Structure 1
Amino acid sequence: MADLYRLVYYSRNRVADGPEALDTAISSILEASRRNNARDNVTGALMFNSGCFAQVLEGRREAIEDVFERIQQDERHGDVSLLAFEPASRRAFANWSMGFVGASVHETMRYSGTAEASGFDPSRMTGDALFETLVRLAIEEEKA
């Protein structure tokens, strides 16, 4: 697919009202993402970990740019940092309009603890490393 692009970014969580508000915000993000991405033929995966969102988006360049613009304007995301935006030879998340690693706040807290113990910090990762991490976790999530 000649016009397939992949974008990888992370942002800081700006939802400050505790676990219930975070769960509601993540659910809202996923609901809107799945609806909009299915319409625009965008695929990808989202992870919340250690106070950060990390996401991979795949699709037509224009569609990815539109999604990323909305993310940058979303008050739930702070310090949005683009790690990679480049042509891709194939989709890594072809079956997911927007997959989520961590199905609940309980799961995000589990991944958050793992992050702290392992030193996981998306701000210190390359786009390729973050992409590979999300692919690996998405495969594990599908097997669970």
Structure 2
Amino acid sequence: MFELVYTSRASSMMTEIELEELRNEAIYFNSMQQITGLLLYNNGIFLQLLEGEQHDVESLYSRIKQDFRHYDVRQIYSRPIDQRSFSSWSMRFINVSPHLRQSSHNILLKDKLDLTEDWILPNTAKMLIKAFQHL
């Protein structure tokens, strides 16, 4: 097993309908490729964890980098893993934009969600992933 985490910026602010379409596409494609993961969105910024066989994850990441819906794609880290963190989610999507936050997101430090420029830091990314893994 292998995991890869990246951030990106939306080419334009995405509507709820566009985000739903993106989520549905990810669920469909990832289930066919046996890829699981987490996708966070906050006012135009994405953080995504992909997990699966290394070749499949790297192939998907190459495809993602070419997607017109976002830019400034930055790999934060990648590594071999013993087991999946999101094994039951072909793609768990959570919109953490301030106006849509749920009370369950209060377990996270508010600044870790709001300071999206820090999402590119491996320690911040790992903290967010771990927190949402248990929701």
TM range (shorter): 0.7 to 0.9
- Paired residues in the alignment total 126
Q: CA offsets, 1:58-111, max 9 Å, x none? A: 001111012111211111111000001111111000110000123xxxx63334
Q: Which residue of 2 aligns with 1:82?
A: 75
The answer as to 2:8 corresponding to 1:11 is yes
Contiguous gaps of at least 5 residues in structure 1: none
The answer as to 2:41 corresponding to 1:48 is yes
Deviation at 1:122, TM superposition (A): 4.5
1:1-144 matches, cutoff 5 A:
4-16=1-13, 21-102=14-95, 108=97, 109-111=99-101, 118=111, 119-123=114-118, 125-140=120-135
- After TM superposition, the score normalised by the length of structure 2 is 0.81
Contiguous gaps of at least 5 residues in structure 2: none
CA pair 122-62 structure 1, distance change in 2 beyond 3 A:
farther
Taking the aligned partners of 2:74 and 2:7, their CA distance within structure 1 comes to 5
Q: CA offsets, 1:95-142, max 9 Å, x none? A: 10000123xxxx63334xx99x625224454234313312312423xx
Q: CA offsets, 1:29-71, max 9 Å, x none? A: 1111111111111000000014200000000111101211121
- After TM superposition, the score normalised by the length of structure 1 is 0.76
Taking the aligned partners of 2:60 and 2:93, their CA distance within structure 1 comes to 17
CA pair 44-124 structure 1, distance change in 2 beyond 3 A:
closer
SS across alignment from 1:85: strand
CA RMSD of aligned residues (A): 2.3
- The residue identity in structure 2 corresponding to 1:83 is I
Q: Which runs of 4+ in 1 moved over 6 A?
A: none
Taking the aligned partners of 1:79 and 1:98, their CA distance within structure 2 comes to 21
